[in-house]
């Protein structure tokens, strides 16, 4: 299945992520957060990613209190604009929107309020993240509360939380609590550092990863993703995983 992951030649081929087909973590909607800023950029990035084998993007702008105060009212109209721009270009790409929710007190209040949450997929997944500095004190409570609402939490880039690197049981605990884990593709390239790469690889080795995401924000991410063409160890790491990306198509 993965033999043709990078096309005919490991060194010169265009990277082929068609084995994923759908990306479920990106900041491709323009002007909503620290990701892409203009519609032209969005069209360019989506075009490049399509050439790498992606057919669907579930875009996930940050929702982070005062810094990125997004709501369905800011995100969904932007989704419509992107769909219109793609239609004007005759594109068949599928685009949806959810969000990357920071686990903080605001999010806890939002869940309790019964407000509409931006989920994705038939299984009602929600993408959640924590600070890179320290775990959110309320993360177990949030995970529980989401599941009480029949929402399935997907933990974004757990390999990037360095405070878990020396406590692998924390990752096992997330799964025990009912979370699915999403690793960033670029974590496996070493982009975020050796320890992050090691943690990501270990999660794969222990078959704990359910999704791979681009977490695409900017040009550098795009260039590095393209460079994954030469990464034989990436191929080896992900080849035996039972990833769910394709179930989102
Ligand atoms: Fe993200």
> Domain spans of the chain?
22-248
The overall average pLDDT reported for the chain is 93
Q: Give the distance (Å) from ligand 1 centre to CA of residue 98.
A: 11
**pLDDT for 19-61, tens place per residue?**
999 999 999 999 999 999 999 999 999 999 999 999 999 999 9
Q: Give the distance (Å) from ligand 1 centre to CA of residue 67.
A: 14
Q: Give the distance (Å) from ligand 1 centre to CA of residue 8.
A: 31
Confidence of residue 156 (pLDDT cuts 50, 70, 90): very high
Placement of tokens 């875009």 in the chain = 59
How far apart are the C-alpha atoms of 225 and 219, rounded to whole Å? 10
pLDDT for residue 228 = 81
Q: Give the distance (Å) from ligand 1 centre to CA of residue 226.
A: 18
pLDDT for residue 13 = 60
Checking if the pLDDT of 7 tops 70, the result is no
How far apart are the C-alpha atoms of 215 and 234, rounded to whole Å? 17
Per the rule left: phi > 0, alpha: psi between -120 and 50, beta: everything else, 103 is: beta
Q: Which of 34, 32, 158 lies closest to 98 in space, CA to CA? A: 32
Q: Give the distance (Å) from ligand 1 centre to CA of residue 110.
A: 20
Q: At what angle do helices 219-227 and 39-51 cross, to 10 degrees?
A: 10
Q: Which of 60, 184, 187, 204 lies closest to 127 in space, CA to CA? A: 60
How far apart are the C-alpha atoms of 55 and 49, rounded to whole Å? 8
**pLDDT for 168-216, tens place per residue?**
999 999 999 999 999 999 999 999 999 999 999 999 999 999 999 999 9
CA distances from 101 to 69, 73, 85, 129, 219 (A): 10, 15, 26, 6, 23
How far apart are the C-alpha atoms of 7 and 227, rounded to whole Å? 13
What whole-number percentage of the chain has pLDDT above 90?
88
Residues 6+ apart with CB under 8 A from 131: 102
Beta strands in 50-209 (DSSP E): 56-59, 62-63, 94-97, 100-102, 125-129, 152-156, 180-184
Residues 6+ apart with CB under 8 A from 8: none
Q: Give the distance (Å) from ligand 1 centre to CA of residue 216.
A: 7
> What protein residues have CB closer than 5 angstroms to ion ligand 1?
100, 215
Q: Give the distance (Å) from ligand 1 centre to CA of residue 215.
A: 5
pLDDT for residue 227 = 85
Confidence of residue 139 (pLDDT cuts 50, 70, 90): very high
Q: Give the distance (Å) from ligand 1 centre to CA of residue 225.
A: 15
pLDDT for residue 236 = 87
Q: Give the distance (Å) from ligand 1 centre to CA of residue 205.
A: 23
Q: Give the distance (Å) from ligand 1 centre to CA of residue 164.
A: 18
- Pick 239 or 171 by higher pLDDT: 171
Confidence of residue 154 (pLDDT cuts 50, 70, 90): very high
- Please give the average per-residue pLDDT across 8-26, as a whole number: 77
CATH fold for domain 22-248:
TIM Barrel (3.20.20)
pLDDT for residue 3 = 44
Q: Give the distance (Å) from ligand 1 centre to CA of residue 27.
A: 7
> Coil, helix or strand for 160?
helix
Q: Give the 3-state DSSP-derived string for 22-71, with helices as H, strands as E and coil as C.
A: EECCECCCCCCCCCCCCHHHHHHHHHHHHHCCCCEEEECCEEECCCECCC
Residue 188: HSE in the Cβ half-sphere, 13 Å Cα cutoff: 29
How far apart are the C-alpha atoms of 227 and 60, rounded to whole Å? 23
How far apart are the C-alpha atoms of 140 and 99, rounded to whole Å? 19
pLDDT for residue 194 = 97
């Amino acid at each position: 299945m993965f033999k043709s992951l990078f096309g005919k030649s490991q060194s010169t081929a265009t990277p082929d992520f068609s084995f994923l087909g759908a990306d479920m973590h990106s900041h491709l909607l323009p002007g909503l957060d620290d990701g892409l800023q203009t519609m032209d950029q969005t069209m360019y990035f989506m075009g490049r990613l399509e050439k790498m084998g992606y057919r669907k993007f579930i875009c996930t702008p940050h929702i982070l209190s005062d810094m990125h105060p997004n709501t369905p009212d800011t995100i969904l109209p932007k989704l419509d604009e992107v769909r219109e721009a793609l239609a004007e270009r005759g594109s068949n790409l599928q685009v949806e929107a959810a969000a990357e929710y920071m686990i903080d007190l605001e999010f806890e209040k939002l869940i309790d309020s019964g407000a509409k949450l931006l989920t994705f997929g038939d299984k009602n997944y929600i993408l959640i993240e924590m600070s890179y500095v320290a775990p959110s004190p309320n993360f177990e409570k949030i995970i529980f509360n989401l599941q009480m609402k029949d929402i399935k939490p997907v933990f974004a880039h757990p390999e990037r939380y360095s405070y878990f690197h020396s406590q692998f049981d924390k990752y096992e605990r997330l799964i025990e609590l009912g979370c699915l884990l999403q690793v960033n593709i670029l974590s496996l390239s070493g982009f975020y550092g050796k320890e992050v790469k090691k943690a990501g690889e270990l999660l794969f080795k222990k078959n704990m990863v359910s999704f791979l995401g681009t977490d695409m924000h900017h040009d550098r991410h795009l260039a590095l993703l393209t460079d994954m063409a030469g990464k034989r160890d990436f191929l080896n790491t992900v080849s035996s995983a039972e990833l769910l990306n394709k179930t989102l198509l």
